[in-house]
Structure 1
Amino acid sequence: MRPTHSKPIDADKAQRFLSGLREGKTLHVLCSGKVNGKRVSSEIIATHIRFREYCAEHPDFARQANALLAENMKAANARRGEFKRSQTHCKFGHPLSGDNLLIEGRTKFRRCRVCMARRAAAPRPPSEDQIQRATAVLNAGQTISRICWGVINGKKVADRIMSHPKLTLLRQRDPEFDRLVSLSRPRVRRQPTKILLRRNNIITPEMAEYNQIANLVPYQLPRDVRDDVIQSIFLAIIEGSLQRDQVHAHVRQFIRDHYREANRLGVGKYGLVSLDAPIFADGNMTRGDTIVRGLWD
């Protein structure tokens, strides 16, 4: 035989539902008589399924009930955590205010610093079940991140087995477990030490003059060309054929002279050209075919 509250809702039960909702009760209390898993009322009108069925069959009732439910749920959500918010002392009597109060950044939980320091200094020993689970995790090749935070490769995969202070206490008391933890540490391949050559921070007058002249030569030039141009400018300054205040006006001339001399020697920007190389990409004529006079003519 089904319980009485599982039977379909009649007009009397519907009125009891509305009366309970007007008193500020939530649907969970009216259908189960429980709040946060604790029974607070022995009166159970009907199940959630029966309530939804009755709302589907009676739109006027559903309109009134849903409006009251929305208000009651809003008030119930506002009451959540009220006990914790109004708590002025921890369960050991320490004040939750001033320097003794710690508010966690992510969860905003309030913590007692005195209790935290006491637990860190003298943690409770882990249970046998925790020790067995931690040993199984280490034997599986995982690290203490899985034991203390439930993290594997940076991802949360499970709840923690024990806190880090408990793990430290266990390692101090059990040398064999400590050896197992040491063997489970990931082996980090260290990179070979690189010798970093740092520039001398002392700027000499010669270095300052070099930088000043080098900054006048365009940076878009090939590195070897730019170095040769800078060298030619310095040589001209040393020989006295160029004044320092005339460098800016003659930079382009030094670049043209460099390319002219390089092309004369066959090592310019076009490089050394083979006589057997085609003149045009779409033809077979080579540079050697254009020679009309031999070397010994």
Structure 2
Amino acid sequence: MNGEQQTSVTNVVKALGLRNRGPIASIPNHNGNAAKITAHLDAGGTLFNCGVSWHFRKLLKEERPDFWADALLRSAENARQAKIRAAHRNMMLRTHCKRGHELTAQTCRIITVKHHVQTHGTWQHRECQICRREFNKTSKFTAEQINALVKGAKAGLTISQLTNYRYPGTRVMRVNQYNTAMRADPQLAATLEPIFAKNRSVALRLAHPRKLIVPRRIDSGPALTGIIAGPSNEIFTAVNRAVPRHLDFETRKEVMSEMMLAILEGTLAIEDAPQRWREFSRAAYRMFPTKYGPVSLDAPAFHDSDTPLIERISVGLWS
């Protein structure tokens, strides 16, 4: 192509406006793209690795904002779960701890660590039990901590109040430091053990004062439900065990009566009572439906009669 031909082609391109075409025009299929994104999110994927292009996702976002908002939430949750799975895989790939101990099912455990600063609050950690035992045995403590421990014991504090993080005002040392100090000085441990036992007993009595009150003796009959029956009645005993006691008194009495009558008639087996008591409770609720709503004055007094609850002016009860 010579110079004149190249110039003519350039002029034609400028005349037709084909230099900066911009994005290629396309007809979006919102239903198909939404179905693809939904299937991808159901499979655990995210919008980052979705098969729908960015151009069509932008059009779908403008066309269906509610769908896009829900897709963003699901994508974020899928990404979080993927990170958790990846962290768990990387954690399980470790064969030794940082001190060289082999991590096996007997020498390690997976614990859930809580953190109040993180967004999700918890994460998992694979802990070496050998390192944990060595750390608990070699915890350092000071004489000031031992003196504070003895003063707290004499003041009536418990071991939890002196070692637990829930009591920052009275805490003087960690639990592992306390265990190390008691192992290092058995005489001190023998002296503090009865004091802490007494303090713990006093703290329990103060925390649960109702246990100090002797309950009144119940001098009622063999059945506390108000339904009197002989203790040797096999039918009553089976029905009484089958019908739950969270039902109100009237409903439970009605259900038990109908079940015992059905057993006597032969339509209900004793061994089927625990599985079929709901049938009789539904029948009782149908018979007395006004328990959960206002009473209709024109409703019949009973399920199998036409007598209304009140006497109306047009039609009297005795006419």
Which of the pair has more CA radius of gyration? 1
TM-score under structure 1 normalisation? 0.35
TM-score under structure 2 normalisation? 0.33
